[in-house]
Structure 1
C-alpha cells in the first residue's frame, strides 16, 4: 500500500489543464500517486476556472467509481478494527472521507451562481450516477436530499436544474418517490419559520427584508420543483414503472407500508414483500399528498399563492390520496376575499361536487364576491362559469336566486361593456317580474309574500352582503330593461336580457345559454363582432331630414339658440366689414 503523504504546496494558478490531466492519469494508473487525490479535489470548487473543474471532475469520477463497493460507510469509518486489517481500514476510511469531500464540492459547484450551465449539467449527471451506485446499488437518498437541498436553497434560479431533472430523471419512479420525501422535509424546515427568528439566529447584520426575500426564494424553488414532478399514471404492470436504481430492495421498498424516511428496512423483511402496481401507486400517492400538504402550510408569497390556486384543481386534487385534506387550505383562501377567493373557487367547487365536502355559508360568501372589480378580473371567465354551475341547483331557495339575479343585474349598470356582456343571470328565471313584485316576511325568507305597496321604489339593498337581508324578492329586474337601452349596441342586443321577455315558466320556449360563450368578452371581441356584422341599413347621418339648426329646442329645455339682429348690430357689422376691406 502506498504511503499517504501531504502533497507539495504549489499555487493553483501554476497548474494548467494539461498538468491536471497528467495528475489525473497518474492517479488512475498507480496507487503510488495517491497524493494527487487531495490536489485534484482542491480544484473542484466554485472559485476554480470551469475547465479546471471539468478536468479534475473527470479524473476523480473515474477514480472513485470502481472503489465505491470497497469503501466503508461514513458512520463506520469512525470505528477502526484491531489487528492486521487496521491499516487497510484506515486507508479505506481516508478514501471515504475524500469521497465525501468530493461529493460536497460537487454540490457546492452545482448550487453556485458562478458555475456555467454546461458545467452544472455535467455535475448533476455525476451526482445522479453516484446516487445510483454509491449506496451499494440502492438509491442513495441522503445524497439525493443534499442535491435537492442545494438546488432549493441556491441563490441563483433553480429553473435550469429542475428542468434538467424533469427532462432526464423525473421519468424514473424511484427518483420521483424520493423527490417527494425530500421536498416534504425541506418544506417542514420552513413551516412556521419567522423572519425575526432568522435575524436573531444569523447575527450577521442581515436585514429583515433580505431574510424574507431568501425565504420567499426557497418557497418558490420548492414550488417549481414539486410542480414539475409528474404524478404517477395508473398502470397494472410493475414493468411499466422504470427505476433509476436497479436494486431490488428499492423496488420492494416502494410497495411496503413503512415510510423510507422514517426508518430503514431490513433486507430480509423487504424481500418478503410482494411487489404490486397497486401498492406502488398507493405509496406514491401518499408521498405526493404529504409533500403537497406540507408545502401548502407555508406562508406562500402572493404570486406563488395565486399560481397554486389556479392549477390546484387540475394538477394536484386528482392525484391526492384524500383530497378532503385540502379543505382547510381552500376555506382559508376562500375567506381571504377578492381575487384569491375567486381563484380558490375552482378547487373548492371540485371538493364539494366530487368529494362530498360540506361548506356552510358557501352561497353567502359567493354572493359577497359579486363586486364591480370581478368583471375586470383576469380569471373572470372561469369564475362566471363556476357561478353558473353553482346556481343551477333545483334546490336553490327562491330568495337566493332572486338575490343573485338582482345583484348581477345591478352590477351591469356600472361595469364597462366588456363586462356587461357577461351577465349569467338566466339562473334567476324563477324571480318575479315587475308586474308581480313580492316581499318576504322579515323573519323567514321563505314565508308567504305580500305585494309591494309602494311603486317606483326599489327595496333591494345592493350593499348588503347577506342575500337573506338584501330584500331582492321585494324588487324587480328593472335593470334588465335599462340594459336593453344601453349605449353600446352589443350589450343592448345580448341574448340574456332579451330572453327574459319570454314566458320563462314554459320550458319549451326557454333555452339555456352557455355562459362560456360570453364570459370572456372584451373590447376586442366587441369591435371584432361589430366589424363582421352584416347590417341591412347603414345611416349616413343622424337625421333623415337636413337639420335647420345644430340643436333642436327639445334638446335643451328652457334654452334658445335663435339670435335676432337689431339695427345697432347691423351698423356695427357694416363698419367692421368696411375697415377690413380698407
Structure 2
C-alpha cells in the first residue's frame, strides 16, 4: 500500500503547485508594455524582476494546460525584455569598466545577473515539455540566438562560446516529441535549429568546438534511453550536411558579424580535429538499430570527408559490418568501409567472407537491395580475384534465384552474366560435363567462399530459370544458352524493378496475334432439375 500512498501524495503536491501558479495574477498586455516603457524612459530596472517572474508563471501554466492568451502574453514579455537588454548593451551598461564608480558597478552587476536569469528562463522554456507544442518555444529559440549576436557585438573578436554551449545543451537534451522511425528526431525545436545551423559557418564551427566535453560527461552519467535521444537530436542537426570549402571559407555566411569573429574560425584543420572528436564520442553511445541506420546512411558522404583521420571509424564500421541480427546495418556500412579501403588504406582480411555471408534470401526483400548490388558489383570487378572466390558468389546467387522474388531474379541474371564475362575462368561452370560427380559438390552452408567447391559445380539453376513462370525472366535466362557475344549488361537497368513494374510491363505489352480462345455460353451455372452436369463459371466449363 506504500507506493499507492506515495503516488497520492505526489498528486496532491502537484495540485497544490498548480493552484499556487493559477492564483498568481498575470499582467495584461498593456501593463507589460508600460513596464517596458518605464525601463526605457525612467530606468526603472526593478521592472525586470516582475517581468521575469511573469515568465516563470507562464511557463508553469503552459506545462499544465494550453492557452493562446497566456502564450501571447509570454511572447510579448520575451520581446520587451530582450529589447530593453539590447538597448542596455548598446549604451554600454552591461559591461563593467574602470571608469565606473562603485554605484555604477553595482548596477552593472545587478543587470548582468538579471540578464543571466533571463537566459536561464529561456533555456528552461526550450527544454520543457509543455502541454502542447507552441510557437512560443520557437520564439524563445530565436531570441536566444539573437542574444548570441548581441553578446558578440559587445566584445572584441570573441564568439560567446559559453552562451552557445548552454543553448546546445538545452537543444540536444530536449525531450519534446518522439524519435522517428529512421533514428532521427522529430523534435520541432531541433528541426528548426538544424535549418539555421546548416547555413552559418560559425554556428557549425563552434558547435563541434564546445559540444564534445558535454557529450563525454553525459555518456558517463545518463541512461541509455537519454543518450539515444541525444544521439537522435545530434544526427538531426548535422544530417543536412556541413559547409566546408577550404578555398573560400572566409566567404561563407556567419551568424555573428564577421568583424567580431577571431581568425581561428577559418582554420579548417582545427575544425576537422574537433569534428572528429565529437563524431567518435557520439558513436560510442549505445545506439538502437534505427540509429545505426541513420548514421550509416550519411557517414560516407557527410561525415568522413570532414574528419582529420577517418581511420578512427574502423572499429565502429567493422563492428557494424559484423552484426548478424540485422542484415540492413552491414549493407549500409559497405559504403563507408569501401571509402576507407579505397582512400585510407583500411585492411580488412575477412571482407569478402563477410560480403558473401550477406547473400541471404531476405536480401532481396530489403529496401537497400539496389545499394548492395551496386557495391557488390564494384567489389567483384577486380580481375585479380581468385576464380574460386568469384565462383562462390555466382553459385550462391544462382541458388538464391530459385526461391527469390521475380524482381530479385531480374537482378541476379544480368549480375551473373557480367561476372562470367569479367572472369572467364568461371565459364567452366556453364560447361561442366564431369560425370564422376554424384550430386552437386557445392557446399551451400559453407561460410568461407574459398572453400565452397563452387568452381567444381555447375550452374544447373540457370537452366531451371529458363522455365520460370514469368516470361521476361525466362527470356532473360535463355541468354546463358547462347554464345557470350553480348556486351556487359548495364545493371542500372535492372536494379529498381519490382512486382509492380513487372506487372505494368506485362499490361502494356502488345501481342502480334490475338490469343485463340474457345467460348461457349450457357443459360445457368449448374445443371437443372438435379441432373448431373458440369459446374460452370461465367460460361467456362470446369
Do the structures match in fold with TM over 0.5? Answer: yes
1:107-122 alignment to 2 at 5 Å? 107-114=123-130, 117-122=134-139
1:420 touches 1:491 (CA, 8 Å); kept in 2? yes
8 Å contact from structure 2 (residues 227, 286) kept in 1: no
Report the Cα distance in structure 1 between the residues aligned to 2:32 and 2:305, rounded to whole angstroms.
53
In structure 2, the residue matched to 1:148 is 168
Inter-partner Cα distance in structure 2 for 1:233 and 1:14: 48
On the 8 A contact 1:131/1:143 being kept in 2, the answer is yes
Give unpaired runs (5+ residues) of structure 1: 1-9, 199-210, 256-278, 438-450, 547-575, 578-582
Structure 2 Cα separation of the partners of residues 434 and 542 of structure 1? 45
- Matching of residue 43 in structure 1 with residue 34 in structure 2: no
For residue 315 of structure 1, report the CA deviation from its aligned partner: 2.1
In the alignment, is residue 53 of structure 1 matched against residue 74 of structure 2? yes
- Report the Cα distance in structure 2 between the residues aligned to 1:367 and 1:238, rounded to whole angstroms: 44
1:412 aligned partner: 401
1:33-68 deviation digits (Å, cap 9, x = unpaired):
332221111012312522332232223222222333
Q: Does 1:187 align with 2:198?
A: no
Per-residue CA deviation, residues 544-578 of structure 1 (Å, 9 max, x unaligned), is: xx9xxxxxxxxxxxxxxxxxxxxxxxxxxxxx98x
Structure 2 equivalent of residue 178 of structure 1: 206
| Pairing partner for 1:303 from 274, 290, 295 | 290
1:287 aligns to what SS in structure 2?
A: helix
User: 1:326 — aligned with what?
Assistant: 313
Q: When the two structures are superposed, what TM-score results if normalisation uses the length of structure 2?
A: 0.79
When the two chains are superposed, the root-mean-square deviation of aligned CA atoms in Å is 2.9
Uncovered stretches (5+) of structure 2, i.e. residues with no partner: 1-21, 62-69, 178-185, 521-529, 532-542
8 Å CA contact 2:411–2:495 kept in 1: the answer is yes
Structure 1 residues 513 and 354: CA distance shift in structure 2, 3 A: farther
How many residues align? The count is 469
1:108-144 Cα distance to aligned partner (Å, 9 max, x none): 1222332754322322222112112225333211111
TM-aligned CA deviation for residue 72 of structure 1: 5.0
Structure 1 pair 104/411, CA: closer, same or farther in 2 (3 Å)? same
Equivalent-residue separation in structure 2 for 1:436 and 1:518 (angstroms): 26
1:254 to 230, 255, 265: 265
Shift of 1:413: 0.6
- State the 1:296 CA deviation: 1.8
- Deviation, structure 1 residue 222: 1.4
- Give the aligned partner of residue 499 of structure 1: 479
Greater displacement, 402-411 / 62-71: 62-71
Q: 1:93 Cα shift?
A: 1.5
In structure 2, how many angstroms separate the alpha carbons of the residues matched to 1:90 and 1:120? 32
Rg larger in structure: 1
Match in the other structure for 1:384:
373
Q: How does 1:342-421 map to 2 (within 5 A)?
A: 342-421=331-410
Instruction: Tell me: CA distance 1:14–1:366, structure 2 relative to 1, closer, same or farther (3 Å).
Output: closer
SS at 2:55 equivalent: coil
Higher helix share: 2
The alignment partner of 1:382 has SS state of helix
Contact 2:272/2:307 (CA < 8 Å) preserved in 1? Answer: yes
The residue aligned with 1:91 is 107
Normalising by structure 1, what TM-score? 0.74
The change in CA–CA distance for 1:457 and 1:541 in structure 2 (over 3 A counts) is farther
8 Å Cα contact 1:28-1:63 kept in structure 2: yes
Change (3 A) 1:323 1:241: same
Match of residue 416 from structure 2:
425
- 2:466 matched to 1:484? yes
The CA deviation at 1:249 is: 5.8
